[in-house]
A and B are shown apart, each in its own frame.
Chain A
Amino acid sequence: MKHTLKIVLALAVVFATSAFTSVGTGYDIGDIATDFELENIDGKMVSMKDFKDAKGFIVVFTCNTCPYAVAYEDRVEALNKKYADKGYPVIAIMPNNTDVKPGDSMENMKARAKAKGFTFPYLMDKGQKIYPQYGATKTPHVYVLEKTKKGPQVKYIGAIDDNYQDASAVTKTYVEDAVDALLEGKEVPEQKTRAIGCSIKV
């Protein structure tokens, strides 16, 4: 009997912790996002605080190996081209465990960035400490942040747009709409969206 109780207790603990880690963590709209210091593909460390003139950031959790992330590569680059000069640069963060996904190693990140001509920082979440704080679950997963006195405030969480298959058939440009609204000092029209993506590899 004592034994059974022990097992039940152990199971309860396992259940409680698994429930805790799988849902309910990470940022919601309005939360202040943590800054980070992560290695870029050029070997330098990058933090949000380095961007003195930025009004905010388009933080994209993405990788080399997920077909959805690949489908959005050019659109992420286009976002940086369009918004970096307006004060909202893209910062891409690769959250996967590279032992599980060798295709996402720093070497492969460099190769991919070079091949695609990325103009934004492409950072490695080494030790996988940052993505859980944000609550990212998949690639691609976007957080639009606005600089405030309290810190970078989360203004949008979700997808880049509403058509991963065909960029020319997109009807809703969620991230652009969010950044445009912030630039005009307006409320973000759609603050949270969802899309299919590849689970982050731990």
Chain B
Amino acid sequence: MKYVVLIVTIVLFSFGNETHRVSLSEENTLELTGDSLKIFDFNQLQNYLSSKDVNKTYVVNFWATWCAPCVKELPYFEQLNANYLNKDVEVILVSLDFPKQIDKKLKPFLQKNKLKSEVIVLNDVDSNTWIPKVNENWSGAIPATIIYNKSKKKFYERSFNYNELETELKQFIK
């Protein structure tokens, strides 16, 4: 068991270092995206919930900085995004942070963690209308995730670790 923990730690660390190195050269763009963060209502977000690019598989995760299980699984989505970057997979992180927390919490969080996946803020209070449009079975609890491509769509109201996430993704890509 100790060894497993050690291995996991090493893997996490090496992964962490790698993203760090890559991101150094992109610091400016990251800051730019931080400032030009997309804040959408549900109608605007809907474009991201159905295929923009028919060749791609999209992984859309609903999260917030205040949601502990969401923050815990974010590295796995980042890892997935990095590992499948060249395999027509795109991860989109939809933040449900409150508007007044965007500057105080979300932007510092994004900069600190140097997220590579695209982050979109969903600001739409009428959740009773839009939640069923995301998925009829969604109770509204986060984290929640959708994986879809042109032929298939699946919804998950649950947390993931990396292996579980990758296993799900593999059902979508051949």
Contact = CB atoms under 8 A, between A and B. Distances in A.
Contact of A137 (B127, B128, B139, B143): B139
A164 B158 CA distance: 23
Per DSSP, are chain A's interface residues mostly helix, strand or loop, or mixed? Answer: loop
Among B125, B142, B143, B158, the one with the most A-chain Cβ atoms within 10 Å of its Cβ is B125
Given A194-B131, A195-B131, A200 B141 contact: yes
Contacts of A101: 68
Interface residues of A, number: 28
A10 interface: no
A93 interface: no
B16 interface: no
B141 A199 contact: yes
Interface in A82-101: 101
A67 B66 contact: yes
Interface of B: 64, 66-69, 96, 98-99, 125-128, 131-132, 137-143, 157-158
Interface of A: 22-23, 66-67, 71, 101, 137-138, 141, 158-159, 162-166, 169, 172, 174, 193-201
28 contacts: A67-B64, A101-B68, A159-B140, A162-B125, A162-B127, A163-B125, A163-B126, A164-B125, A165-B98, A165-B99, A169-B125, A194-B127, A194-B128, A194-B131, A194-B138, A194-B140, A195-B127, A196-B96, A196-B127, A196-B141, A197-B140, A197-B141, A197-B142, A198-B66, A198-B67, A198-B142, A200-B141, A201-B69
